[in-house]
A and B are shown apart, each in its own frame.
Chain A
């Protein structure tokens, strides 16, 4: 009993002292301090998961922008997709005090709570790659419009399938906003322009390559007439391609959103005729640039254009900052890229 009182007393003392104490000797980097005057801007950058090659490649661009602008980046997040951990880290960042929080949200509704809290403390919030709820962030840094992504995916799928047939979609998770947006536009484009294509299944793989492999194998078994697997998250493309390769089914193709390095092998073997993406390093670069601009007040709500360093002038649609158009990697051009 004494020990417990002692322990609680110790904590109470700590809190009491803390309430009076100043937070360390460092220059106060607390939230809401709108840049200017040579103070270093701190951007807290969080991917969906740190172990994902896609996000690691985004980080390269982010680091480049950080060096260029003199921004301090805090790069943290769960090693595997985990909404609860994302929330926890964001909430601790709010306590720490940063200028901007930039998150690729694993769970749209869940992360929004923490982000709204950040905004009430004067911290600027952007989302990148995958959105939160619109009132929880200032801007979304979007790699391409969902229409563009959805349309390109269906066009490439149709090419690979010869214009008609059955296909299945492997997605990351059912809660990630970007996945849902892309699925919506895939369906819209399909209905409008490629009605001869039929979707027979939609399976999530939790952004994990191994799970995508298993899902693809199951799909191949369940649907003997399947012509194509549309893998719309980057770990799923090589996962599904490997499954197709091991199954020996020569009539099935894989098309999806993925990194060139992950898929070079399968593209050359013909299993994956095309891989669609965007320059991920540019996405990271743009995110940090936009975050810095928000913190210093250069970028404000209602802007229609934004000049992002070496990327030049980019379009801002409402609260979406657009990186550009999707890019298609094929056998012909994939060797030019290394990420």
Chain B
């Protein structure tokens, strides 16, 4: 039993880890909704659950290394809206093909992320403050571009396939993308030096600097990457809903952080895992889906999510007190 965890695996005793708790919770939800939800335990629903969670899921996945590094990105929801609006404008008003317009929109996403990264590294401002500012900035830009009201619809069928189509009749088009990005983020966080560096930076930023880690470069790459992924998610969102509007993605940043924290990543940084986020996402998605299939009104989902989050976090603290898991919260 280690006195203090280190990095790659997330450390601690194998039985009482947060992922175990989440898996158990997931199984419980699956059983409960299997009993009370209509058509819950079908292959079709299984794919729908993942499909409907892809947009927030992509953001949550890339948010994991961000939170792991001790930062946060509150601007992701607004950036989603902005990218969607840019896409709409490029396609409808500039006349680009959907592919080119999407590339442009994703590029804008990366630029937005890069802006965050630059402000964080050059101005030495906390990510919370910077992304709070860009949260308003991006949303404002989106609303200015549309006069607050314009929205873009009528996209060609080929583009809409991205959000509404099914490969071979059953695999939703966005699911392979989601799984691919998730694997990519997992590799980044758990198998690359950058991932390890981010964890160390989250654990103790000053120490990382003195250890000679290129903190600024990592942050710049990280936040730009986050923006890029948000851009991709935005394209899937627009294809799924069939419209691009400035207020798209409102509240997504908090949902993403909820999934990340539920998955066991500490909000202070330094501790967490990508698979935890994935499990957290699945728990939230199954919860929402199961409740609707059980004919429960959608506003209850918020209450249950909140209770779930508090339960899991309390459980985590209790486990630490028992002394078997990881390090104490603050550095």
Contact = CB atoms under 8 A, between A and B. Distances in A.
B104 interface: no
B45 A95 contact: yes
A109 interface: yes
A312 interface: no
B46 A30 contact: no
A93 B292 contact: yes
Contact of A110 (B149, B153, B186): B153
B46 A15 contact: yes
Interface string B11-37: 000000101101100110010001111
Contacts of A14: 30, 41, 46
A305 B17 CA distance: 65
B242 interface: yes
B306 to A, nearest CB: 15
Contact of A4 (B35, B46, B186, B299): B186
B275 A7 contact: yes
B296 to A, nearest CB: 9
Interface string B145-157: 0001111011000
A260 interface: no
A6 B23 contact: yes
B254 to A, nearest CB: 15
A18 B298 contact: no
A107 interface: yes
Contacts of A112: 242
B40 A85 contact: no
A333 interface: no
Contacts, number: 138
Contacts of A16: 43
Given A89-B298, A174-B150, A7 B19 contact: yes
B28 to A, nearest CB: 12
Contact of A3 (B19, B30, B45, B48): B19
Interface stretch (A76-84, A139-147, A284-292, A321-329): A76-84
A144 to B, nearest CB: 26
B7 interface: no
A58 B36 CA distance: 29
Contacts of B274: 4
B22 to A, nearest CB: 8
Given A85-B298, A96-B292, A113-B160, A18 B43 contact: yes
Given A21-B34, A174-B149, A84 B39 contact: no
A13 to B, nearest CB: 9
* Interface SS, A side: helix
B151 A95 contact: no
B237 interface: yes
Given A14-B46, A15-B46, A84-B248, A92 B38 contact: no
A196 interface: no
Contact of B151 (A7, A79, A174): A174
A87 interface: yes
B330 interface: no
Contacts of B297: 50, 75-76
Interface in A5-36: 6-7, 10-11, 14-19, 21, 23-24, 26, 29-30
B298 A110 contact: no
B73 to A, nearest CB: 21
A321 B158 CA distance: 34
Contacts of A50: 297, 299
A150 interface: no
Contact of B293 (A11, A87, A96): A96
Contact of A18 (B22, B34, B186, B276): B34
Nearest to A171: B149
A127 to B, nearest CB: 16
B138 interface: no
Contacts of A88: 52
A95 B41 contact: no
Interface in B131-185: 148-151, 153-154, 160, 164
Interface string B225-239: 000000000000100
Contacts of A18: 34, 40-43, 45-46
A256 interface: no
B248 A10 contact: no
Contacts of B5: none
Contacts of B273: 3
B243 interface: yes
A14 B41 CA distance: 7
Given A3-B23, A4-B274, A95-B48, 8 more contacts: A10-B26, A15-B43, A18-B40, A19-B43, A23-B40, A83-B243, A113-B242, A204-B148
Interface of A: 1, 3-4, 6-7, 10-11, 14-19, 21, 23-24, 26, 29-30, 50, 74-79, 83-85, 87-89, 91-93, 95-97, 107, 109-110, 112-113, 117, 173-175, 204
Interface of B: 17, 19-20, 22-23, 26-27, 30, 34-46, 48, 52, 148-151, 153-154, 160, 164, 186, 190, 237, 240-243, 245, 248, 273-276, 278-279, 282, 289, 292-293, 295, 297-299
